[in-house]
Amino acid sequence: MAEDDAAVSPVIATILMVAITVVLSGVIYVWASSLAETDVKGVPRVTFDIEDIDGFDADQGHWRITVTQSQTPLATQAVEVKVFYTNATGALNTFSVNLADSAGVYGFNPANSDAFVTFVDSVQKEQISETETRSISTFNSGDTIFIRTHAPDGTPLEDATITLSYAPLNGDGALLRTWDDLSYDQKA
């Protein structure tokens, strides 16, 4: 009779271990799949293309940064550009601008604005009714940022750094991209 009691215990233990393993793997699967999903509030993957245009020209030379792909649209007013450069006296300068700034930045390009940084938005149209649409400004594929290759004081930029950040009022921000060692006389 003692032999029967000993044989029952390993069988029950094996069944319990299998059941616990199945439940635990289910919990881990649900947890991992929720990590893989990207919420609209999260920072999406954004890819860019940078090109230098007439870098030697102090008036029209600029870097053109184009958003080639964006996982989800970002709020334009939450995108910030910073340019770190050395001025004519050798001091390190930081120029920071919000892309939604309407004072010569938003909706402008180097041909129609003297601003150091300009932004052209590929505006999306949203249908409200059969006859009415509204424009929505987002930072998304097709948008273009222009940054001059010469500082506001006319100094050609050498070893400049450009950072593009996403910083919403509510929630976590993130650095979207950094370009280092940019010079007016070299390909970006």
Instruction: Give tens-digit pLDDT for 110-134.
Output: 888 888 999 998 777 777 788 887 7
pTM over 0.75, yes/no = no
In a domain, 83, yes or no: yes
pLDDT at 36: 60
pLDDT digits (tens, 9 = 90+) for 128-186: 788 887 777 888 889 999 999 999 888 999 999 999 999 887 777 788 999 999 998 88
Do 166 and 91 belong to one domain? yes
Q: Tell me, what's the pLDDT at 181?
A: 92
- Residue 151 Cα to chain centre, angstroms: 24
Q: Are 63 and 182 in contact (CB under 8 A)?
A: yes
> Is residue 147, in this structure, part of any structural domain at all?
yes
Residue 91 domain-assigned (yes or no) = yes
Q: Is residue 24 part of a domain?
A: yes
Distance from the first to the final alpha carbon of the chain: 84
**68-85 b/e with 16+ CB inside 10 Å = b?**
eebeebbebbbbbbbbbb
The dihedrals phi and psi of 120, each to the nearest 5 degrees, come to: -110, 120
* pLDDT tens per residue across span 48-106: 999 999 878 878 889 999 999 988 888 888 899 999 999 888 899 999 999 888 787 88
Regarding whether 80 and 22 lie in a shared domain, the answer is no
Tokens of 99: 């892309």
85 is in which domain, residue-wise?
A: 46-182
* CA atoms within a 13 Å half-sphere pointing along the CA-CB vector of 23: 6
Greater model confidence, 37 or 182: 182
Q: Which residue has the tokens 């593009």?
A: 164
Q: Domain count for the chain, please give it.
A: 2
Same domain, 12 and 85: no
Residue with tokens 């947890």: 31
**Are 70 and 146 members of one domain?**
yes
CA distance 53 to 63: 6
Find, among 80, 59, 65, the residue nearest to 151 by Cα: 59
pLDDT bracket for residue 41 (50, 70, 90): low
Is residue 188 one of the residues assigned to a domain? no
Both 131 and 157 in one domain: the answer is yes
